[in-house]
Amino acid sequence: MAGSLRHFGGREALLTKLSGGLAGMNLTTAWALAPTPRAALWLARSGSRSLDEVPVEAACSGETLEFLRSIGVRKLHELRSLPREGLGPRCGAALLDDLDRALGAVPEGRVFFAPPPRFAATLELPAPVSHAEGLLFAARRLLVQLEGLLAARQAGIHRFRFSLGDQHLEIGLGSAAREAERLSRLLREKLAALTLEQPVETIGLEAGDFVPMPGRTAGMFGDRLAEAEDWACLLERLEMRLGRGAVHGLAIYPDHRPELAWRRVEPGEWEPREFVQPGPRPLWLLEDPRRLGEDEVKLLAGPERIEAGWWDGDDARRDYFIAKWNVSMAWIYREAGQWYLHGFFA
Amino acid sequence: MAVLDTLLQRHSVWRGAAFAQPANVIASGHAALDAELPGGGWPSGALTEILGNFRGVGELQILMPALAALSQAGKRIVWLAPPHLPYAPALAAAGIDLAHLAVVRAPGRRDALWAAEQVLRGAGCRALLAWLHRATYAELQRLAAAAEAGGAFVVLFRPREAERQPSPACLRLALEPAAGDLAIHILKRRGPPASAPLRLALDHPAHALGRTSFSAPAGRQPRMHRSVGLPVHP
């Protein structure tokens, strides 16, 4: 506090200001001045004039307090006169540490006020904007502020909310990020797809749920982490423009029905399943099997019977063959007397 | 002459009679094909075009060993606008690590070109397979520049008719089925023009079906060394 006394106009002025402010918030206060924060705390708690006169109740509690009472120690000066070597093992190191902190022998580690992990800012535009893309320039100013806050907190975000007038855009990210550049790229894709109902005069940006994200020097070539981040950015950009679901990964799934033996998954997601199909499978699968005439194909090998699904009502009873269809190596099946093309051995 | 010799020795001038020595190639996994490709493999950081109008003639099989090696090394592969569904069980059986694969649907021509460029510009993806029906020379040139910047292995699948159109691709192959094998016409490469099409023997899927095969060419081992339980005969 000593360092800011001149700024506040001296000790008395600061105290007046402080008690005035606290009274305005309807708080009852007890205060004290001391060379160390802990001494001030104890003095304020007990209302004593000097540290020696502080009752032990202000300095400790629980078992330690019980013990001190039982040996007849009532004030701090009595406690201080006891030998340290004996006190430590009997009432714990915590009390001695606290005492040292109060006396200034050991520095006090303080927890400083931290702003809540959240960002919200609005910006009045100098003139109404009617093209969504025109908002990007202004939005960038907010995104840079956000990046500053995130960088200071070594944090990143998974989503943010951009408001333009009454409309809101929720923008999600594939992986945590804080770079204004990346966020604005995402926003640009979103804005490009947006038509404004009326001109916008105010924009706002909100983000919460910060996640820890250590700072890293970017751009080392061949850096796996940079590659992974680049990949996440790429997938986001593709999804923004092509729509959700336009980008997916593939996984195998243990089912004998060919159309159910795979799954769409998030790219990079991986199903640790080992399932080997009993016969050859084609690299191309037709999502909608195509009806074939019997004379269209020349059978080469088969059949492999696939009979499954009677338990879930989606049953298949098919005989699969490898066949020549025109010049293609085809995977075809016969079900209920009808032939179908289901894939190509490409 | 001395100046010319030093220039030629620096590999900064490519002579038509010799193979160019590209910096980065990925072995195709087919010895006969590697022998015909400059540097002994698929070029990365440049466009490769595969032209053909047929499906199911081995057009993916020729890429599988390279893609399997890339994915197993943790490199990501994008399939852009494929004509059918790349089938996960078959990809896994070919050794592809599915965790490093993404399929991108881009119905519009412009969307597909845009997506291809985005994929190539970044450092995240090391291989791109894209099915482009129509693309102008300028558009392909843009992709070639992006590929060069990003260094990825790029294969553009295009219709056979594209052969007549000039292309900035450094390797152009046309595929044709040939009596159970695959005939590869090397239309363009950084090396002497290829005289005859290359015949590549394919892994015949019927081999995996073993005993019930209708036409099993003799002398080849089945690819999967497991017996196949096939309960029913026609």
Residues of B in contact with A242 (CB under 8 A): 104-106, 111, 115
Beta-carbon contacts below 8 Å between A and B: 197
Closest Cα in chain B, distance from residue A132 (Å): 21
Is the Cβ of B118 closer than 8 Å to some Cβ of chain A? Answer: yes
d(CA A344, CA A335): 18
How many percent of chain A have pLDDT more than 90? 17
Confidence of residue A272 (pLDDT cuts 50, 70, 90): low
Chain A, residues 205-244, CB within 8 A of chain B, namely 221, 224, 226-235, 237-238, 241-242
Q: What is the pTM of this model?
A: 0.62
Give me the interface pTM, i.e. the ipTM. 0.83
pLDDT at B17: 64
d(CA B217, CA A54): 101
d(CA B125, CA B107): 21
Query: Is residue A217 over pLDDT 60?
Result: no
pLDDT at B2: 66
d(CA B128, CA B131): 10
How many percent of chain B have pLDDT more than 70? 79
- What angle separates helix A93-103 from helix A37-46, to the nearest 10 degrees? 100
Q: Do B214 and A304 touch (CB under 8 A)?
A: no
| Cross-strand bridge partners of residue A323 | A299, A330
pLDDT at A273: 66
Q: What is the pLDDT of residues A106-134, one digit of tens each?
A: 887 777 766 667 888 888 888 888 887 77
Q: Choose the closest CB to B54 out of A230, A268, A327.
A: A327
Of A1, A250, A134, residue with least CA distance to B101: A250
Query: Is residue B226 over pLDDT 90?
Result: no
What is the mean pLDDT of the segment spanning B194-212?
A: 74
Residue of chain B minimizing CA distance to A270? B99
What is the mean pLDDT of the segment spanning A84-96?
A: 79
d(CA B112, CA B114): 5
Q: What is the pLDDT of residues B151-167, one digit of tens each?
A: 899 999 999 999 999 99
Is the Cβ of B58 closer than 8 Å to some Cβ of chain A? Answer: yes
Q: What is the pLDDT of residues A258-270, one digit of tens each?
A: 999 998 988 877 6
Measured from the Cβ of residue A131, the count of other Cβ atoms closer than 10 Å reads 13
User: Are the beta carbons of A17 and A8 closer than 8 angstroms?
Assistant: yes
Q: Do B98 and A270 touch (CB under 8 A)?
A: yes
Helix then strand then coil, % of chain A, to nearest 5: 40, 30, 35
Query: Is residue A69 over pLDDT 50?
Result: yes
d(CA A272, CA A275): 10
Considering A47-56, A165-174, B37-46, B198-207, the range whose residues carry the highest mean pLDDT is B37-46
Q: Choose the closest CB to A235 out of B87, B102, B232.
A: B102
Q: Do B102 and A247 touch (CB under 8 A)?
A: yes
pLDDT at B89: 94
Is the Cβ of A250 closer than 8 Å to some Cβ of chain B? Answer: yes
Average pLDDT, chain A: 83
Q: Do B209 and A304 touch (CB under 8 A)?
A: yes
Q: Token pair for residue A279? A: 């016969």
Chain B, residues 88-107, CB within 8 A of chain A, namely 88-94, 98-106
DSSP A110-171: -PPP---S-EEEEEEEEEEE-SGGGHHHHHHHHHHHHHHHHHHTTEEEEEEEEEETTEEEEE
pLDDT at B16: 63
d(CA A203, CA A167): 10
pLDDT at A155: 85
Residue of chain B minimizing CA distance to A267? B102
pLDDT at B165: 93
Q: What is the pLDDT of residues B167-179, one digit of tens each?
A: 999 999 999 988 7
Average pLDDT, chain B: 83
Query: Is residue A307 over pLDDT 50?
Result: yes
pLDDT at A246: 92
pLDDT at B212: 46
A55-64, A222-231, B84-93: least confidently modelled range: A222-231
pLDDT at B135: 92
Q: Token pair for residue A86? A: 């004996």
pLDDT at B222: 39
Residue of chain A minimizing CA distance to B234? A303
Considering A211-215, B135-139, B211-215, the range whose residues carry the highest mean pLDDT is B135-139
Establish whether the linkage from the previous residue to A303 is cis, with ω within 30° of 0: yes
